[in-house]
Amino acid sequence: MAKRVKYPSESEISKLLNESDSETEESSFSNTSNSESDCSDDTEIIDYLDDSANDLSASDWQTDIKELPSLEFSANSGIYINSSEPVETEMDFLNLFFMNEIIEIIVDETNKFSKLIFEKSKIEPSSSKSQEPKCIAEVTGNEMRVFMSLIILMSIIKKPTIKMYFFQIQYLALLF
């Protein structure tokens, strides 16, 4: 069974605070832990606090409280979009991050990789017939945008499994 720690009462705390700052005087409360490391840790903390208290001088503290100036904000808060084209839909906003050039590069590299895997599967047939690709369907820019949108949405809306993102049941489905 774990040993209980006796905490000082409010009167003992005030007595300690008011009576002495001496480190030689012992308090009337006791910690039932017999560990030497607890004692050395406490001593290190007390030494550190004493050293930091000595670094402070009376000029560091002031009794009068000065009124802080009120800061006036002149700019509009929120997102600022510097675009020549209007941003009205979610797809317009996505296109700010994934410009046509970037989407084209991703689509080209995806299609190259798909062809490479297809050619490799013809040379080195897999042990499972179900894993062999029958044909190649090239990815389009719009499909890649949908995929990127889904990835972003999946990072915002957390579901327990991947399958749950594609449920057709109305109360479980993602509304796009």
**Cα–Cα dist 22/29, whole Å:** 16
DSSP assignment of 87-110, as one string? --SHHHHHHHHS-HHHHHHHHHHH
Q: Which of 118, 110, 83, 78 is nearest to 97 (CA)?
A: 83
Structural domain contains residue 33? no
Measured at the alpha carbon of residue 42, what is the angle toward residues 39 and 48, in degrees to the nearest 5?
140
Entry pTM: 0.47
Domains identified in the chain, total number: 1
Residue 82, Cα to own-chain centre: how many angstroms? 28
- Confirm whether 73 is domain-assigned: no
The verdict on residue 131 lying in a domain is: yes
Per-residue pLDDT 10s for the chain (176 aa) are 556 667 777 777 777 777 755 554 454 444 555 545 455 566 777 666 666 566 666 566 777 788 888 888 888 877 777 777 788 887 888 888 888 999 999 999 999 999 998 888 777 766 666 666 677 889 999 999 988 888 888 888 888 888 887 777 766 666 65
Report if residue 77 sits inside a domain.
no
Residue ranges making up the domain that contains 92: 88-175
pLDDT at 20: 57
- Say if 96 falls within a structural domain: yes
> What are residue 78's phi and psi, to 5 degrees?
105, -175
How many Å apart are CA 118 and CA 136, to the nearest integer?
7
The whole-number pLDDT of residue 76 equals 81
pLDDT at 19: 72
Interatomic CA distance for residues 135 and 115, integer angstroms? 10
Position 81 scores a pLDDT of: 78
Six-digit token string for 168: 């057709």
